[in-house]
Structures are given as structure tokens and as C-alpha cells.
Amino acid sequence: MKADELRELSVEELVSKEGELREQLFKLRFQKAIGQLDNTDKLRDARREVARVKTISNEKARSARGA
């Protein structure tokens, strides 16, 4: 998802999205460890997606505290 799409989500939706992405990242790491992961770029993309969600979540939290 793009950052603009994530900014439209509520805080609860961002938390659930982060949970889903962390689970996906775990599965990808597991696949890599046992040698089943063909495209290792998926790991990088998953890590970046988690970071993107966390960044948007922190932005929303800071704006809520500031207001």
C-alpha cells in the first residue's frame, strides 16, 4: 500500500494491518530459513511495508497528542 492509502486508515486499522504484515514477515523469514523462498526481495518489501505502517501510526499519534 502507498502512504496516502495508509493515511486514510484509522488507528485501529493501522494496528491490525501492522499485525498482518508482521505475520507475513515471519512466514517469509521461515520460508527463507528452510530454503523455500525463491524471491528474497519479498523480505525487503515486507520490512519496508511494516516500517511505512509504523511511521504513519506514529504521525497520527503525534498529531493527536499535539491537538
SS3 34: coil
- pLDDT at 43 (0 to 100): 96
Q: Give the C-alpha separation, 22 to 56, whole Å.
A: 16
- Cα–Cα nearest to 53, from 26, 8, 66: 8
According to the model, what pLDDT value does residue 1 have? 82
pLDDT at 66: 84
List, for the chain, all residue ranges whose pLDDT scores fall below the cut of 70: none
- Domains, the chain, in order of start with CATH, read 3-66 (1.10.287.310)
Give yes or no for a contact between 18 and 54, defined as CB atoms under 8 angstroms apart.
yes
